[in-house]
Amino acid sequence: MGTQVTGRASAPGRAADQPAAVSSLSGLSLKEPQQILNVSKLSPEEMQKNYKHLCKENDQPVGGSFYLQ
């Protein structure tokens, strides 16, 4: 008879074990922004401080790129 194909479809670039709810909102897992912002805990103050630092370092007048912001 016929064969049945079973499996999970996943979005390109998304790991199969990554929760769909996280990736559907931003396309990132929770760990990726923590790595980008160099924070180990979800501390809003530390995240904001590191975000502002990265924006300042990537500002166009100092040779940065708007694309990276």
The predicted-structure confidence for 9-25, as pLDDT tens digits, reads as follows 444 554 555 454 466 66
Residue 44, pLDDT > 80, answer yes
Q: Which two tokens stand for residue 10?
A: 């996943």
For residues 57 and 46, the answer to whether their CB atoms sit within 8 Å is no
Residue 51 has a pLDDT of: 92
| Distance, first Cα to last Cα, the chain | 55
Res. 7: pLDDT tops 50: no
Q: Where are the domains of the chain?
A: 40-69
| Whether this model's pTM surpasses 0.85 | no
Residue type, 2: G
Q: CB neighbours of 11 closer than 8 A, spacing ≥ 6?
A: 23, 27
